[in-house]
Structure 1
Amino acid sequence: MQRNLDDLMTALAPMFPRIEPRLQAAKYVRAVMSELPKRNGWTIAEWIGDHRPDATQRLLNRARWDTAGAMSVVRRFAVARLEAATSAGSLKVGVLDESGQEMKGTATAGVKRQHMGCAGSIDNGINTVYLAYVRAGAGHALIGARPWIPAEQISDPVTAITTGLPLELTFATKGELAIGLLGEAYTDGVRLDFVTGDEVYGACTALRTFLEDHGQAYVLRVRATTFTLALGGGSCLTCEQAVAKHLRQKRRWTIRSAGSGSKGERTYAWAWIATASSAHFLLVRKHRTTGELAFHYCFVPAGQPATLTRLISAAGLRWPVEESLQAGKDLFGLDESQVRLHQALLRHLVLVMAALAVCAVTAAAVRHATDTQAGRPTHPDEAPPDDPGLIPLTVAEVKRLFNAVTGHTPTLEHIAHWSTWRRRHQAHARWFHHRARLTTAYIQLN
């Protein structure tokens, strides 16, 4: 673990022209890997031993360092170490997904009332598009991120300046942001067997065209009633219509696993439909209990194996991105930055992704050595084994063990200093709040 952390921080060193922000970045990564209950400028500064949050805030907001270059370093590190942790031939999948962060106010880059997956409804917050690298049988990590910025923020010069939006920034849909993330990954030499994503990305024609132009196979979710397929004979049907016409017979369906979950194999009924193009297919997944259908539009370039088993395997490897995002939030503070500027948000994301990558590749490296689980039961009445064994070390356990070994106990003097600093800062803020209210009251009276 320590070696992986040291190797990554050494690789990141050229991204920093000066030693001070480089050292502060290393402390920041270590702090988000800690057991802090909440990670923001104040708590991180206190944990790493600073007397004020100035250095941490400067690192994110004003210090000179190559944020995009740092993202590239983290990406190449994660991909190389995950590849080294598994056998050749296992699928390499790039997974696209977005994740939100609920926020108050309107002063943060990208903030808007919008659908937030984390809230399950329309709420005020920001959304970021992520690219995850999943290596079957090894592990997964986040290797790219781009915040989604509403068009009205980009076109409003005042908002653009106050939120630190780059001058060259233009509006991009989530699908177009995904194209940028994949382009960066390809530039870094990342090679993928498949790209997967939900309906947001399956509906993006520009993304599908980009992938096909690059000879990139994909398995993208699409909507049942709005996505249409060109089938043989010149017919054009929606996904639902295609299923009703071509998959009425039970023998067209096969029961396959979409991969192992914590409760066992995730088995569904699967079927596929050929289209007018020999490279495109509709992959249909049916829930065995509810009968609910999910549709995947697939592209497999000429010369690559196009089998139902391979498409199912790719579709099943989409879920780990949710695990990476959840671990990023719960364990490393991916959504706890409390920053406002566009660059500061990106810098927080890349440093958290660095921490996540270190733990993910460490867990992948010891996956097989730490998996001692007993064999699975063969019938419902089988007695449990005397020793069930252990599941492999997870990212959460790797992080927990690392913190237990390295230890971090602040002095009483340091704790007292930060207690005084927080209370003084809050008193200062409270005084200005009261003065602002007085100002408002005087204006109303006059």
Structure 2
Amino acid sequence: MAACHSVNPARWRQVLAGVCDAFAGRFGRVEPRRSAAAFVTGLLADIEVKTCWQLAEQAGHARPDAMQRLLYRAVWDADAVRDDVRTVIVDRFGDPDAVLVVDETGDLKKGVHTVGVQRQYTGTAGRIENAQVGVFCGYASRHGHTLIDRRVYLPVSWTDDRDRCQAAGVPDGVAFATKSELAAEMITGALDAGVPAGWAAADEAYGNSSVFRAHLRQHQLGYVLAVSRSHLVPLDGGKVKIRADRIAAELPAPAWQRRSAGAGSKGPRFYDWAWLDEVTTDADPDDGGNHSLLIRRNTTTGELAFYRCWTPQPATLAQLVRVAGIRWTVEESFQAAKGQVGLDQHQVRRWDSWHRFTTLALAALAVLAICAADATDDEPADTGLIKLTVNEVRRLINACIIHPLSNLAHRLRWSQWRRQHQARARQAHYTRRLNLELQP
């Protein structure tokens, strides 16, 4: 019986309602307001693919029109809803020592019309593919972690083609921005909104940018940013710059200390760490902060990782190691967002639709993150069980709260609708192809 104390369907129902109620006032009409709540609930549901068709069927709608209208034509501000969801997250997870973690993730796509899509490198595939890339900001504290903001990345091939942008609904004022610039925008937005945070963390795609690092220092935000092994580290007051891997190779054995970067699925994540606090900045030598280089060595393979660090006040090695270890939370959030709430399953092409779908997916992810955190707080000691994960929470939410519609007539109507729609689409494709072939 004690093992079930953390399973609290009544509390989870309150969390789901609370997240949806937080942004309910952003809709001027009751129909899109109800559709948005049903959309978030559907993203949590145990359905095969999280598209408008499946979400509408799950919600009991006769057709997908309401869900499609919510993403395309309904009047509501996705950024305002994002702000409301972020407020709910901060109310539950807020901590002045929290870490803002930025990273990107890609979704493989076909065709050329989906906003931001082109052949580009994505870590999702580990190679260059036709893909759409989004840059995200996560929030991680001792209370929990999840994603709080998003930006779609527009390559130069898009921003230089205004007709293409116009066709995808990209606002005229949107110009090219690097991924690190998008990350800086999200961090600035969070801090300006009063989100409590003391640190930023990111991988080397962001850490190698001196402009990004300077931006964080301007906000007096401490950082632990991964950099490449070839990164030039300024030493001796900036008079010399030495490659990070060369510095590591010349360190004596006593310079390394074994510490845990936090608990992982297989226990504490122990690495050997070396810390050089004689580093200077390569951009603003009078910033008054504390620059350092942190080096991590895998205890089994000897693989090295390097971090540029800065703090407005003196920090300890333990603090920097903690922040470096927290960066993995954004990867966990990506995995949960895609595997549990369908972040990568949208079938939308336009700018507004991407932001709307993604925002509602972040709302669904927030529900899971908060429910998992509540379950951890309520869990008795020594149950012999691992803590409830967001994956398990979603399974239990489906078992206890979201009851799938089993009405046979409803299922048959949807089966007929899908087949009819697909037949019309096929005929339209055949006609279009025939017309193209007949053109001189």
TM-score tier after normalising by the smaller chain length? over 0.9
Structure 2 residue 419 is matched with structure 1 residue 438: no
Q: Which amino acid counterpart does residue 287 of structure 1 have in structure 2? A: N
Structure 2 residue 397 is matched with structure 1 residue 408: no
Matches within 5 A, 1:222-241: 222-232=227-237, 234-241=239-246
Matches within 5 A, 1:194-273: 194-232=199-237, 234-245=239-250, 247=251, 249-273=252-276
Alpha carbons 2:259, 2:271 under 8 Å: kept: yes
In the alignment, structure 1 segments of 5+ residues that lack a partner are: 375-388
Task: State the alpha-carbon separation in 2 of the partners of residues 231 and 373 from structure 1.
Answer: 52
Task: State the alpha-carbon separation in 1 of the partners of residues 238 and 164 from structure 2.
Answer: 53
* 1:165 to 1:403, Cα distance in 2 relative to 1, 3 A: same
- Corresponding position of 1:169: 174
Q: Deviations over 1:34-57 (max 9, x none)?
A: 011211111111111112111111
Task: State the alpha-carbon separation in 1 of the partners of residues 184 and 104 from structure 2.
Answer: 13
Offset, 1:312: 0.3
The answer to which of 148-157 and 172-181 deviates more is 148-157
* 1:130 to 1:371, Cα distance in 2 relative to 1, 3 A: farther
Q: Deviations over 1:180-224 (max 9, x none)?
A: 111111122112121000011102222211110111000000011
Alpha carbons 2:208, 2:231 under 8 Å: kept: no
SS of 1:367's equivalent in the other structure is helix
Q: 2:114 aligns with which of 97, 108, 111?
A: 108
Q: Which amino acid counterpart does residue 164 of structure 1 have in structure 2? A: G
Q: 2:388 aligns with which of 375, 378, 393?
A: 393
* 1:110 to 1:373, Cα distance in 2 relative to 1, 3 A: farther
- Corresponding position of 2:136: 130
Task: State the alpha-carbon separation in 2 of the partners of residues 419 and 14 from structure 1.
Answer: 35
SS of 2:234's equivalent in the other structure is strand
Task: State the alpha-carbon separation in 2 of the partners of residues 59 and 227 from structure 1.
Answer: 49
Q: Which amino acid counterpart does residue 150 of structure 2 have in structure 1? A: A
In the alignment, structure 2 segments of 5+ residues that lack a partner are: 1-11, 281-288
* 1:233 to 1:164, Cα distance in 2 relative to 1, 3 A: closer
Offset, 1:287: 0.6
Alpha carbons 2:60, 2:405 under 8 Å: kept: no
Alpha carbons 1:41, 1:56 under 8 Å: kept: yes
- Corresponding position of 2:283: none
Runs of 4+ in 1 over 6 A off after TM superposition: none
Alpha carbons 1:371, 1:392 under 8 Å: kept: no
Offset, 1:315: 0.4
Q: 1:314 aligns with which of 320, 323, 328?
A: 323
Q: Which amino acid counterpart does residue 197 of structure 1 have in structure 2? A: A
Alpha carbons 1:231, 1:237 under 8 Å: kept: no
Alpha carbons 2:58, 2:405 under 8 Å: kept: no
Structure 2 residue 68 is matched with structure 1 residue 24: no
Offset, 1:242: 2.1
Matches within 5 A, 1:133-152: 133-136=139-142, 138-152=143-157
Task: State the alpha-carbon separation in 2 of the partners of residues 144 and 119 from structure 1.
Answer: 23
RMSD: 1.5
Offset, 1:156: 1.2
What is the number of equivalent residue pairs in this alignment? 420
SS of 1:439's equivalent in the other structure is helix
Task: State the alpha-carbon separation in 2 of the partners of residues 305 and 274 from structure 1.
Answer: 10
Task: State the alpha-carbon separation in 2 of the partners of residues 177 and 398 from structure 1.
Answer: 32
Q: Which amino acid counterpart does residue 119 of structure 1 have in structure 2? A: A
Alpha carbons 1:76, 1:188 under 8 Å: kept: no
Task: State the alpha-carbon separation in 1 of the partners of residues 257 and 159 from structure 2.
Answer: 49
Matches within 5 A, 1:284-303: 284-301=295-312
Q: Deviations over 1:345-394 (max 9, x none)?
A: 011011010011011011112213326447xxxxxxxxxxxxxx011111
The answer to which of 405-414 and 340-349 deviates more is 405-414
Offset, 1:410: 3.3
Task: State the alpha-carbon separation in 1 of the partners of residues 377 and 196 from structure 2.
Answer: 24
